[in-house]
Amino acid sequence: MYVIAEIGINHNGSLSNAKKLIKQAYDSKCQSVKFQKRDIESVYTKEELDQYRESPWGTTNRQQKQGLEFSIEEYKELYSYTKELGMDFIVSCWDRKSVKLVEDNLNVDYHKVASALVTDEEFLKDLADTGKPIILSTGMSTEEQIDRSVEILSENLEYILACTSTYPTVVEELNLRYIQTLKEKYPQFKIGFSNHYSGFEASFGAVALGAECIEFHITSDRTAYGSDQAASIEHSSVLVDGIFVMQKMMGDGIKKVYDSELPIMKKLRRV
């Protein structure tokens, strides 16, 4: 089971907060952390950036986006800190400029395709050209869109994650059985689950359905500022412990008589 702690933008632009979340992920026994990188001028229009928005950094979208964005030098520091802890470092780039910037400066373990980028074929081709392993999320995407992205990424694609892109996701829209659909349709790839549900149950259910990767948003305070906090997991160690316990509970599906059953069998069997 590969467990990804999605820090995303929950650091709120603070390097010390980001390091605390990396350490929380490490203490929770996650194997990797994931961040997001944007060139805001590429991702958003001038009109979007100039819109009014109150935030800790000012009163426009631009100020909010700039406040949340780390420089590449700050990412280098976070990368080094993550590697000192022996964890993988993953980035979701949101534009082509960011792919080049990350590739030129960081040796990421995976590139992650955010659900919002599934239909951007030029972006997907840039990721494929890096030669790095790729994780694909499937939120807000049709079967045809997912098929096309898989076609473009297939040479380097390693994980496909079932996902619903609402924050937090309501129970009725989790559709965990889609994990089984993906496993049947794409047996050549590892299938996982990207969680945006605010509790533990969805991730445990995903493990029971055969997920090989669980990604969840991690936070130290679900009441903190930020659009992702409400869909994030605060008690991450409890979640990850439960994931690995559930994985053990699933067994191998082969019926056997356990040694622990033998004394009971001897005591209770009459024939």
Structural domain boundaries, residue 102: 2-268
For residues 203-219, give the mean pLDDT.
98
- Residues 1/243, Cβ–Cβ less than 8 Å: yes
pLDDT recorded at residue 32 = 98
Number of domains in the chain: 1
Q: Whole-prediction pTM value? A: 0.95
- pLDDT bucket at 79, cuts 50 / 70 / 90: very high
- Residues 193/217, Cβ–Cβ less than 8 Å: no
Secondary structure of residue 6 in the 3-state scheme: strand
- pLDDT bucket at 52, cuts 50 / 70 / 90: very high
Of 127, 129, 145, nearest in space to 90 by CA = 127
- Residues 11/232, Cβ–Cβ less than 8 Å: no
Q: How far is CA 157 from the centre of its chain?
A: 15
Q: Which residues contact 117 (CB under 8 A, 6 or more apart)?
A: 94, 123, 124
- pLDDT bucket at 4, cuts 50 / 70 / 90: very high
Tens of pLDDT, residues 120-167: 999 999 999 999 999 999 999 999 999 999 999 999 999 999 999 999
pLDDT recorded at residue 30 = 98
DSSP 76-131: HHHHHHHHHTT-EEEEEE-SHHHHHHHHHH---SEEEE-GGGTT-HHHHHHHHHH-
What contacts 24+ positions apart, CB below 8 Å, involve 24-27?
A: 24/218, 24/220, 24/236, 25/87, 25/218, 25/236, 26/85, 26/87, 27/237
Tens of pLDDT, residues 81-130: 999 999 999 999 999 999 999 999 999 999 999 999 999 999 999 999 99
Of 154, 70, 136, 76, nearest in space to 108 by CA = 76
pLDDT recorded at residue 170 = 96
- Residues 203/214, Cβ–Cβ less than 8 Å: yes
Q: What's the mean pLDDT when you consider all of the chain?
A: 97
DSSP strands (E only) in the chain: 2-8, 32-37, 52-55, 58-60, 88-93, 110-113, 134-137, 157-163, 190-195, 213-217
- What percent of the chain has pLDDT above 90? 99
- pLDDT bucket at 196, cuts 50 / 70 / 90: very high
For residues 250 and 60, give the distance between their C-alpha atoms in angstroms, rounded to a whole number.
49
For residues 182-187, give the mean pLDDT.
98
Tens of pLDDT, residues 21-32: 999 999 999 999
pLDDT recorded at residue 59 = 97
Residue 132 CB neighbour total at 10 angstroms: 18
Q: What is the rounded (10 degree) CA torsion for 94, 100, 106, 107?
A: 100
pLDDT recorded at residue 1 = 95
For residues 44 and 32, give the distance between their C-alpha atoms in angstroms, rounded to a whole number.
28
* Total residue length of the chain: 271
Residue 15 CB neighbour total at 10 angstroms: 15
CATH number for position 86: 3.20.20.70
